Amino acid sequence: MALKPLGALAATALACATWAVAIEPLWLEKRELEVPFPGLPRALDGIRLGFLSDLHAGAWAPREHYLRAVRILARAGVDVLLLAGDIAGHRAGQTWKEVLAPLAGLEPPLGRLAVLGGHDHRFNAPAVAHHLQSLGY
C-alpha cells in the first residue's frame, strides 16, 4: 500500500525530527586521518590534532555524552585540541558550564584553542568565551 502524499510528508517530517533530536545530537564519531601538509616543518611531522565541534552544551545531550568525548580524546593522545564553534547551544539551559567542565582535564602538550560559532553568539558569546578561558582555552 503506497503512502498518500500527506502521509509521506508526515513520515519524512517524523524521520527528520527523530534524527535531529534523538540521533545526531548524541552521535560521537572518531576519525583518524593522515593529512599531507607540504612545507610543514619536520619537527611538526606526525602532530596529532583533536577536533571537537558542535557540542551545543546545555541544549540536548546529557553530561555523560561530553564525558565520552573527553575519554575518546584522552585515549587518542592528541598534541593540540581544537574546539570549533557552537560550543554552547543557543538555548542552553543552566547546565552548559557543568557539561563543559570535563574539557579542562584535557591538557594536550601543544595547547588548546576554541573558536565560537553562531549558536554561541545567539546564546551569550562573552559568557561562553569567559568560561572557555577559565577552562584553559
Question: What are the DSSP calls for the chain, one per residue?
Answer: -PPPHHHHHHHHHHHHHHIIIIIGGG-----------TT--GGGTT--EEEEE---BTTS--HHHHHHHHHHHHHHT-SEEEEES--B-TT--TTHHHHHGGGGG---TT-EEEE--HHHHHH-HHHHHHHHHHTT-
Residue 130 has which C-alpha cell? 569567559
Pairwise CA distance, residues 64 & 61, whole Å: 8
Pairwise CA distance, residues 130 & 59, whole Å: 19
Pairwise CA distance, residues 127 & 132, whole Å: 9
Pairwise CA distance, residues 107 & 117, whole Å: 23
pTM of the shown model: 0.73
Tens-level pLDDT at each residue, the chain (137 residues): 565 666 667 777 766 666 555 556 566 777 887 888 889 898 888 899 999 888 888 877 778 888 888 899 899 999 999 999 888 887 777 788 888 888 898 999 999 999 999 989 998 999 999 999 999 98
Residue 85 is predicted with a pLDDT of 87
Residue 91 is predicted with a pLDDT of 78
Residue 11 is predicted with a pLDDT of 72
Pairwise CA distance, residues 50 & 35, whole Å: 13
Pairwise CA distance, residues 87 & 102, whole Å: 13
Residue 4 is predicted with a pLDDT of 66
Residue 111 is predicted with a pLDDT of 94
